[in-house]
Amino acid sequence: MKFYQKEIQLEPFNRGFHLITRIILNQFEEIGNIEVGQLQVFIKHTSASLTINENADSSVRTDFENYFNRIVPDNNDYFTHTLEGTDDMPAHIKASVLSSSIQIPITNGKLNLGTWQGIFLCEHRNYGGSRRLVLTAFGI
């Protein structure tokens, strides 16, 4: 079995849902060395998250952002964790509802995603800054 691990830093993204599949593939060529295995992507932050969803129509990303902002809006007077701003606690909740890691099959050296699937960084802060991802690929 082969194991590869790499930590990458993403440039800062605006608040919203951003397709990062190509960034991951460009910075982690070791995926090509695995015939059958898995890629785990883990984000080292509590106010951003990861998800897999449709990558063909950008309105999906807009709808995700609109939905999450509606169910967990900023500026709620019942949040007590506001030291870093009114978007801080809502960002933590959104990140918990989504996920801090995703796992994708690797087949013949390529991610085995569906035709319309992509990996998304979900930036829940207005000014979240750069984000760090740990990429771990393993298999035969």
Per-residue model confidence as pLDDT tens digits over 80-122 = 998 899 999 999 999 999 999 999 999 999 999 999 999 999 9
What confidence tens digit (pLDDT) does each residue in 14-51 have? Answer: 999 999 999 999 999 999 999 999 999 999 999 999 99
Q: How far apart are CA 87 and CA 75, in angstroms?
A: 7
CA dist 50 and 30 (Å) reads: 21
Residue 61 neighbours by CB distance under 10 Å: 19
Dihedral over alpha carbons 28, 132, 90, 64 (to 10 degrees)? -20
pTM recorded for the entire structure? 0.95
Q: Where are the domains of the chain?
A: 2-139
What's residue 83's pLDDT?
87
* CATH number, domain 2-139, options 2.60.120.460, 3.40.50.880, 3.20.20.20, 3.90.1150.10: 2.60.120.460
| Confidence (pLDDT) at 82 | 87
Distances (CA, A) of 52 to 25, 105, 113, 126, 127: 15, 13, 9, 22, 23
Who contacts 63 (Cβ-Cβ below 8 Å, separation ≥6)?
none
